[in-house]
Amino acid sequence: AGAADASRADVASAPGADDAATALRADGDGAAAAGPLPDAGLNSAAALKRLGGLESVYLIALRSFIAEAEKLAAQLQTARDNENCSAALPALHTLKGLAGTVGADRLAALSQQAELALKGDAAAWAPLEQVLDACPGVAGDIERLLSGSRPR
């Protein structure tokens, strides 16, 4: 429980977390119709619980997320530009799972909404924009959290 408590404190005190949350809430109009989205930022307590309270595993997941999310965002941009639904769906599904693992609940929900929209209509690209817009904020939240974590 000690590691989980320390991580919650790190996330709560991450500089700029409120700014990122405010920015993401401001652009949530399109997705809000499907139900309220989770707050922006990282839900480290839930992520740590999913990972059995292993802070070291969580830190590895956080470090890996930034590079993987960047690759997935590039794939999603290419898929959108080419209107290639079959390329977008697996990338969205993977991003949804990775975001959920690290506690980026809002990004996971946005990814799920975009995935469901494209499954229902291969021309429904609008929800993908919110996913792409949210990725840099999550990466920034993670970078701030990691910069405040203990040395490796």
Q: Does domain 44-149 correspond to CATH entry 1.20.120?
A: yes
- pLDDT (tens digit, 9 = 90+) per residue, 3-37? 444 443 344 333 333 333 333 333 333 333 457 88
CA distance 112 to 114: 5
Straight-line distance from the first to the last Cα atom of the chain, in angstroms, rounded to the nearest whole number: 20
pLDDT of residue 61: 96
Q: Could you tell me the pTM of the whole model?
A: 0.75
**Cβ distance 20 to 40 under 8 Å?**
yes
CA dist., res. 130 & res. 2, Å (int): 35
DSSP letter at 81 equals H
Task: Give tens-digit pLDDT for 47-64.
Answer: 999 999 999 999 999 999
Is the distance from CB of 36 to CB of 88 less than 8 angstroms? no
SS3 68: helix
Q: For the chain, which residues make up each domain, given as ranges?
A: 44-149
